[in-house]
Structure 1
Amino acid sequence: MDYKAELPDLARQTAEVVDTIMLEIRPKLLEAAFTGKAGESENLRHADNFLSVHDMWSHERYRELMSRHLKSFVYASEEAEPQVVGDEADPDLCVLVDPLDTSELAVRGLLGYTHVMIYSRALARPIVSVVGDIYHHVRLYVAAQDDDGNDRAYAFTADGQGRALLQREPKRLSESLLTNFLMRPAERLLPLSRQHRLMTALDQPDADGKSRGRIGVDFGSVSLCHVAAGFTEGVLEFAKGFAIWDLAPGHYILHAAGGTVLDLEGQPIPLDYGLASLIDIADAMDRRQKFVATGSRALADEILHYIDA
């Protein structure tokens, strides 16, 4: 893939790592889909989550490939406890990874994503984020801090074309596509279905009598990337909350594209995830965050107005 020259070196290298992993794992996942052999194993860290041999392969492969570009870093993967890679006892950079998101769909050949974010503990913020879409033509979403300290976001397609992700013209709730991770019936779908005021507001007809508001399903960090790209208008997560590896990579990309991420009290969620020490990183990986993510503050406020949380 031909990455734009304006990407900083570390962002370009990280994007190449993600692209390499997707290229290598895609045939494995499709083989699992067509044969029905998903390679599922017991998940000792997250008992209610699907885990396959492909998750663990990606976990190991990320650590190997990132160590070629970073001499030392804290490796914080969903699949293991945080660990220091390299010779430094207390490295500045933390590499946060969800090796294979929505893996139970990925092994069915339907959907699959992979996230990596590089966080500077000295700056207390991300400096690079890459979210990869294994099956879609829009292959990569990237955010990075440039030499002037500005955060910029991009999307890259499978044929190497790149687009800058910029803030879009805001829309009202009644003309928006709002998404939610509603796959789990009792845990997420039923609570969403009880949001009667929100659903009524979303279904409110425009002046021409047409109801344009829609509710859809989306997944992890890529859902925030879809908002950053303007493919959807907002993401709502109020029932359980996202873990850090599901929220943070997409949060930074949406931030760099000019979007808004608020907690359910209407307060902006900071990019400082409090990853000062290994203990802090381990604690952060056990927390969940409820949020609304949109392309504009006005839409986020409108959504929060109708939520009964």
Structure 2
Amino acid sequence: MPLSALLDAVAIIVRQAESIVMVVYGSEFVVRGKDDKSPVTEADERAEQLITEALRALTPEIPVIGEEAVAAGVAPQIGERFWLVDPLDGTKEFISRNGEFTVNVALIEQGEPVLGVVGAPAQGRLYGGARGVGAWVEEAGGMRQPIGCRAAPETGLTVVSSRSHGDAAALEAFLAGKPVADTRFAGSSLKLCLLAAGQADLYPRLGPTMEWDIAAGHAVLAAAGGTIVDLQGEPLRYGKPDLRNPHFVASGLCAPAA
């Protein structure tokens, strides 16, 4: 199946998962703690079950790695091609009901995110992108608009930072000497989507993340012309044995001076 058709199919699956998430969001849900002390809700588990079953039906030959399944000790062997699923990125934002949470599905091929869909159901937006296809945002009415990264603004860079995680002192040290005009805070993988949509320029992540946290947003960003590299300047890769990311810098700058 071409990536363009696969992208449309995954967008439908994410929309279906969003419906489940929003039903729970509008109810009195219970928050539990996982072994790693991170929170989990019924929305995480039900959305992942729907996405996993739908992806297996769509592409039975491609294994699915989901956050909640891994947390429960269930994960297929990582190969050259696999799905990464974060059914509810920004669970803390979900719990605080600030709307900054996302549903994420990414396809990884030979260590690279080649397709991604990021749904922001509380905001009524769906972001998608694939290699060779480009990136888009779909509003609640179903209209899609192409998106792309921007050149470095003459007025200075807009930096996005995590609302719930991160080391403020490390971020300040990293940005020292850089032409920063503004700093915006956002939850979940929305930060990567802001870069892809040309609404921000730089996202340094100087704290722990897992591959499923950012893979879908990375695919959208890459399709929009952006990049993610580690602190040594090497492209971020997927399929690591422990599925953990190093510190990284995501850039939405399309100019050579980025």
Which TM class, normalised by the smaller chain length?
0.7 to 0.9
Normalising by structure 2, we get a TM-score of 0.85
TM-superposed deviation, 1:156: 0.8
Change (3 A) 1:164 1:297: closer
Deviant stretches of 4+, over 4 Å = 89-92, 199-203, 297-301
The 1-side partners of 2:169 and 2:189 are apart by 22
Cα contact 1:182–1:188 (8 A) shared by 2: no
Which runs of 5 or more residues in structure 2 are unaligned? none
Percent of pairs identical after alignment? 23
- Structure number with greater CO (CA < 8 Å, separation at least 6) is 2
Give the match for residue 31 of structure 1. 27
Task: Please say if residues 85 and 212 of structure 2, whose CA atoms lie closer than 8 Å, have aligned partners that are also in contact.
Answer: yes
User: Is 1:41 paired with 2:32?
Assistant: yes
Larger radius of gyration: 1
After TM superposition, give the deviation of residue 219 of structure 1 in Å.
2.9
Unaligned runs of 5+ in 1: 1-5, 33-37, 204-212, 302-309
Contact 1:170 1:299 in 2 (8 A): no
- Residues 102 and 118 in structure 2, CA contact (< 8 A), matched pair in contact too: yes
Structure 1 pair 7–160 and aligned structure 2 pair: CA distance change class (3 A): farther
Contact 2:20 2:43 survives alignment (8 Å): no
What's the CA shift string for 1:116-169, capped at 9, x where partnerless?
001234xx43332101101113x1111123xxxx24111111111111122323
Q: Is residue 39–residue 54 contact of structure 1 (8 Å, CA) maintained in 2?
A: no
The structure 2 residue matched to 1:11, chosen from 7, 10, 23, is 7
Per-residue CA deviation, residues 229-255 of structure 1 (Å, 9 max, x unaligned), is 0122221112x1432112222112111
**Following the alignment from structure 1 to structure 2, what is the Cα–Cα distance between the partners of residues 299 and 78?**
36
Please give the secondary structure, in 2, of the residue aligned with 1:153. strand
Give, as a single letter, the amino acid of the residue that structure 1 aligns with 2:116: S
Alpha-carbon distance change, 176 to 191 in structure 1, aligned in 2, over 3 angstroms = same
Residues in 1 aligned to 2:217 and 2:208: alpha-carbon distance in whole angstroms: 14
SS at structure 2 position matched to 1:58: helix
State which of 189, 193, 196 in structure 1 corresponds to 2:168. 189
SS at 2:39 equivalent: coil
Secondary structure class of the residue paired with 2:57? coil
- Quote the residue 2:190 is aligned against: 222
Write the distance in 2 (CA, Å) between the matches of 1:30 and 1:253.
28
2:107 to 112, 118, 138: 118
2:169, 2:78 → 1: CA distance?
44
Displacement after TM superposition at 1:9 (Å): 1.7
CA distance in structure 2 between the aligned counterparts of 1:165 and 1:105, rounded to whole angstroms: 25
Which of residues 126, 135, 158 is equivalent to 1:177?
A: 158
Q: Deviations over 1:246-278 (max 9, x none)?
A: 22221121111111322223x1414x42x3xxx
Give the counterpart letter for 1:41 in structure 2.
R
Distance in 2, Cα, partners of 1:196 & 1:95: 35
The aligned residue for residue 131 of structure 1 is 118
Query: Quick one: distance in 1 between partners of 2:51 and 2:215?
Result: 17
Question: Which whole-Å CA distance do the structure 2 matches of 1:31 and 1:118 have between them?
Answer: 31
Q: Name the residue aligned to 1:235.
A: 203
Residue of structure 1 in register with 2:83 after alignment:
95
SS at match of 2:68: coil
The amino acid of 2:222's aligned partner reads: H
Aligned residue runs from structure 1 range 223-302, under 5 A: 223-238=191-206, 240-265=207-232, 267-270=233-236, 272-273=237-238, 275=239, 280=240, 283-285=241-243, 287-296=244-253
Given residue 73 of structure 1, which amino acid in structure 2 is its aligned partner? I
Corresponding position of 1:62: 51
- Change in 2 beyond 3 A, CA 1:300/1:101: farther
Q: 2: CA distance between counterparts of 1:13 and 1:52?
A: 26
**May I ask how many residue pairs the two structures share in their alignment?**
253
- Give the partner amino acid of 1:13: A
3-state SS in 2 of match to 1:107: helix
Distance 2:60 2:173 in 1: 52
User: Within 1, Cα distance between the matches of 2:50 and 2:257?
Assistant: 37
Q: Scaled by the length of structure 1, what TM-score is found?
A: 0.72
Aligned partners of 2:31 and 2:39 also within 8 Å: yes
Residues 114/90 of structure 1: CA separation in 2 closer, same or farther (3 Å cut): closer
Q: Distance in 1 between matches of 2:218 and 2:22?
A: 25
Answer whether contact 2:231 2:249 (CA < 8 A) is retained.
yes
SS of equivalent to 1:68:
helix
